[in-house]
């Protein structure tokens, strides 16, 4: 089956999101005061943390690792039972579901960030990235590409 155009865009978006978050989350884990990224702990605003260690961990795992795992799944469609454990759509490959998860998680992450912290120019970019991931994942061509047919 020929891959749909929007799937190629999903590849790019997941790579962009995942690599950026792995980098950012890693830098925050290495220096939880945010100094490696030119950030100040005063920017944390109303969050219940006084360093970037916990947010950096979540950034690294949920916004970084998950989209990269999803990228591999979208590209190769491996049959990994452990990954299928969190798939709530029995008739879709787990990578399709994880793509939805990735888009929704980044939208929620950035929304919470905007409410609790100081505005940063990257926030709308990441919200838009999450929105595009959800939209492209829900296109009929991409849905059809990841349907599982029981024989």
Please tell me the total count of domains within the chain: 1
Residue 117 lies in a domain: yes
Rounded Cα–Cα distance for residues 116 and 46 (Å)? 5
**How many C-alpha atoms does 12 have within 13 Å on its Cβ side?**
8
150 within a domain of the structure (yes/no): no
Q: What is the pTM of this model?
A: 0.92
Assigned domain for 151 exists: no
Q: Are 32 and 60 in contact (CB under 8 A)?
A: no
- Assess if residue 16 is contained within a domain: yes
pLDDT at 30: 95
38 part of a folded domain: yes
Given this model, what pLDDT does residue 31 score?
A: 96
Q: Count CB neighbours of 46 within 10 A.
A: 7
- pLDDT score for 42: 85
Q: What is the tens place of the pLDDT at every residue in 119-132? A: 888 999 999 999 99
Domain encompassing residue 124: 5-145
- pLDDT, average across residues 139-146: 97
Q: What is the mean pLDDT of residues 6-28?
A: 97
Is there a domain that residue 137 lies in? yes
């Amino acid at each position: 089956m020929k891959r749909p155009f929007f799937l190629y865009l999903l590849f790019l978006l997941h790579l962009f999101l995942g690599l950026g978050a792995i980098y950012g989350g890693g830098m925050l884990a290495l220096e939880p005061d945010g100094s490696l990224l030119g950030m100040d702990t005063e920017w944390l605003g109303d969050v219940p943390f006084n360093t970037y260690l916990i947010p950096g961990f979540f950034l690294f795992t949920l916004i970084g690792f998950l989209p990269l795992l999803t990228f591999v799944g979208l590209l190769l469609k491996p049959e990994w039972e452990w990954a299928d454990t969190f798939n709530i759509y029995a008739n879709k490959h787990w990578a399709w579901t994880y793509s939805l998860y990735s888009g929704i998680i980044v939208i929620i992450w950035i929304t919470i960030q905007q409410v609790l912290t100081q505005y940063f120019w990257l926030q709308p970019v990441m919200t838009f990235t999450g929105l595009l991931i959800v939209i492209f994942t829900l296109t009929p061509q991409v849905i059809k590409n990841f349907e599982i047919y029981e024989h």
